[in-house]
Structure 1
């Protein structure tokens, strides 16, 4: 990629201490952005990443609306007006509907759907004209594997939010998009050994995705080169429409 396409821009990346979020934060910083590394519990990892990329680590639980507001207020106070929001924070759990619990449903929707929604609300109020919002979904909303009803449902809500918000913010030249990874080598994938075993074979490219594969798609969407792309769901899964 060319260098410094995001010079002068300020970004918040939620759930950025590890995995895809970490790679996104690093990619945006390599393009010249000032990056807020949001985390919930991984303080040491977030602080180390922030030091590495010259960013700022801020703790906030995106399932708590007051925390989201504090995240944005703290970021603005420290770094100035915001330009980019990447909704990466997410949790997953897989079980048949008949065996699911209210607690599982509430936890996954509170982070994946509710958290993304209220981060987008803050962004809609605060982002400068010409800004970018990118939310991370999953290829599972296309393939709908058994056991994924809660997880896929929470991410499907994110995809619909993207479409509606793109229309609302378009007059301000703010683009809103979703990126849907496939099997990616992260802690989340490694929680499910059966998926790890089949992951590489699901892609025509014959390998499991790496966080950087997704991060560079996200970074491109944040540049001026992607100014004509909005309301879209980009499948960044190496051709595999799975988790």
Structure 2
């Protein structure tokens, strides 16, 4: 069976789905036949441009963008209410939205810590809870993590801690939700060439070091992660439950 037919009539929500890795996942799932909901919070222009780009290539699939802060429970509820009204169901949830600030652990304030944990973990849980209500015939949930969950990266403690929590949540959610025929997994992305890297100092030097350290001898691209996510949303991955798949070109082998 062709992948497009497998994904036809599936409805997918990608949080933080208008830029970077989220955009690549959005485009990949669309190309496979899904109806798409793009969640964004700040860059309305990027979200609308992506919707228009997708709609220019389809006459049958539905694509919408919904503004919602994943750190705000009321906005999450409103988003899922709109999804229910417009689609009546949800088959795929990709928890990709993230927030975090870099800095030494001894300088991280309460506000930054709470914001990082609230959006990355609390928002993920609330999105999952609301999504499950719409996955009456089963579904797929994929959480996006990073290597900072397992390895110490410079000034990455708040984000790395949140990502480690996400990977643990993935295990617990997978065990609980499989009885509803909902498969939960995570993808741990290595060094991916997106604008998100702009938060790091000396980014050009970091990129070069990443290339040298990676057996694949290149930077990861957003589509590298999107392909793994698509696989985890496919029935071919049914024997994978509660796992975090590392997609890093082999770079973690040399940590």
**8 A Cα contact 2:100 2:112, kept in partner:** no
Q: Matches of 1:134 and 1:178 in 2, distance apart?
A: 5
5+ residue gaps, structure 1:
none
2:153 maps to what in 1?
A: 145
Q: Which moved more, 1:190-199 or 1:55-64?
A: 190-199
Q: Matches of 1:101 and 1:145 in 2, distance apart?
A: 19
Match of 2:209 among 187, 191, 198: 198
Match of 1:177 among 182, 185, 192: 185
Q: Deviations over 1:67-121 (max 9, x none)?
A: 1111111112112211110000012322111121112212211221111111111
* TM-score relative to the length of structure 1: 0.94
**8 A Cα contact 1:92 1:188, kept in partner:** no
**8 A Cα contact 1:20 1:211, kept in partner:** yes
Superposition CA RMSD, Å: 1.6
Match of 1:215 among 211, 226, 232: 226
2:125 maps to what in 1?
A: 117
Larger-Rg structure: 2
Count matched residues. 242
5+ residue gaps, structure 2:
56-62
For the residue of structure 1 that corresponds to 2:7, the secondary structure is coil
1:18 maps to what in 2?
A: 19
Q: Counterparts of 1:159-170 in structure 2 under 5 Å?
A: 159-170=167-178
1:93 maps to what in 2?
A: 101
Q: Matches of 2:11 and 2:184 in 1, distance apart?
A: 16
**8 A Cα contact 1:24 1:212, kept in partner:** yes
For the residue of structure 1 that corresponds to 2:6, the secondary structure is coil
Q: Does 1:42 align with 2:43?
A: yes
Q: Deviations over 1:32-89 (max 9, x none)?
A: 0001000001111111212222410000000001111111111121122111100000
**8 A Cα contact 1:4 1:30, kept in partner:** no
**8 A Cα contact 2:39 2:66, kept in partner:** yes
Q: Matches of 1:204 and 1:166 in 2, distance apart?
A: 31
1:79 maps to what in 2?
A: 87
2:52 maps to what in 1?
A: 51
- Alpha-carbon spacing, 1:4–1:198, altered in 2? closer, same or farther (3 Å): farther
For the residue of structure 2 that corresponds to 1:180, the secondary structure is strand
Q: Deviations over 1:153-210 (max 9, x none)?
A: 1111111111011111111211000001000011111321253342212311011100
